[in-house]
Chains A and B, each alone.
Chain A
Amino acid sequence: AQSVSQHNHHVILSEAASLELGCNYSYGGTVNLFWYVQYPGQHLQLLLKYFSGDPLVKGIKGFEAEFIKSKFSFNLRKPSVQWSDTAEYFCAVNAGNNRKLIWGLGTSLAVNP
């Protein structure tokens, strides 16, 4: 069965620190990959996605993610975090033409000012 693993459950950083959140998935075929973010008290929103093409994708608010097919990974990065990046981050995958998303458990990020 398909699954998504997020290795970091809770991350605490100071402002201006660099961020990398890990995401690995289990599926051998074609996948579409997503990172969603949920700010406190708000709904889930799409941060970035990968369907095909350049494996390095850029999203909103300075986030980027790199798809490494050989490692089944789609790690999220940001060179310098801000206090406003405090949120829950979710990695999600859908396989081929399957419309449903399989989700990781999420990573809670707290950025201290």
Chain B
Amino acid sequence: GAGVSQSPSNKVTEKGKDVELRCDPISGHTALYWYRQSLGQGLEFLIYFQGNSAPDKSGLPSDRFSAERTGGSVSTLTIQRTQQEDSAVYLCASSLRQGEAFFGQGTRLTVV
């Protein structure tokens, strides 16, 4: 596609529910990243994919968070049993070369 696409753009969920966030990277980009931005904080790295494998998932804050990537393309970030502290903007980025990351618009997650 023309850019990185994330869906949904906004998600409100009740505490304890599971949510899935989707990222469609730019076609042909081998690397895919998930970050999150909480209110008043900088971007926080969550996980990085190269192809379908995740060589670095050190930023996932707990075992409630998981992500997968299939076909070297679409990625899904799943948060189980959501908590209020999970409220944030979740950003996806993709790149072909190191550093030239292209970002999506993000998914604003609100846990009530």
Residues in chain A within 8 A of chain B (CB atoms) = 4, 32, 34, 36, 42-46, 49, 51, 90, 92, 94, 98-106
| Contact between B105 and A43, CB atoms less than 8 A apart | yes
**Known A-B contacts A94-B98, A100-B48, A100-B59; A44 and B42 likewise in contact (beta carbons under 8 Å):** no
Residues in chain B within 8 A of chain A (CB atoms) = 3-4, 31, 33, 35, 41-45, 48, 50, 55-56, 58-59, 91, 93, 98-106
Min CB distance A24 to B, Å, is 14
Min CB distance B107 to A, Å, is 12
Give A46 to B58 CA distance when docked, in angstroms.
24
Across the interface, which residues of A come within 8 angstroms of B98, CB to CB?
32, 94, 99
Min CB distance A17 to B, Å, is 26
| Contact between B103 and A101, CB atoms less than 8 A apart | no
| Contact between B56 and A99, CB atoms less than 8 A apart | yes
Give A102 to B105 CA distance when docked, in angstroms.
19
**Known A-B contacts A32-B98, A43-B105; A101 and B41 likewise in contact (beta carbons under 8 Å):** no
**Known A-B contacts A43-B106, A44-B91; A103 and B101 likewise in contact (beta carbons under 8 Å):** no
| Contact between B99 and A102, CB atoms less than 8 A apart | no
Residue pairs across A and B with CB atoms within 8 Å: the count is 57
**Known A-B contacts A32-B98, A94-B99; A103 and B104 likewise in contact (beta carbons under 8 Å):** no
**Known A-B contacts A43-B104, A51-B99, A100-B48; A105 and B41 likewise in contact (beta carbons under 8 Å):** yes
A43-B105, A101-B99 are known; give 7 further A-B pairs, CB within 8 A: A32-B99, A43-B106, A90-B42, A90-B43, A94-B99, A99-B31, A103-B43
Query: Which among B35, B42, B99 is the interface contact of A34 at CB below 8 angstroms?
Result: B99
Across the interface, which residues of A come within 8 angstroms of B104, CB to CB?
43
Min CB distance A9 to B, Å, is 10
Across the interface, which residues of B come within 8 angstroms of A51, CB to CB?
99
Task: Give the one of B91, B100, B103, B106 with max A CB within 10 A.
Answer: B103
Query: Which among B45, B58, B105 is the interface contact of A101 at CB below 8 angstroms?
Result: B45
Min CB distance A60 to B, Å, is 13
**Known A-B contacts A32-B98, A46-B100, A51-B99; A100 and B106 likewise in contact (beta carbons under 8 Å):** no
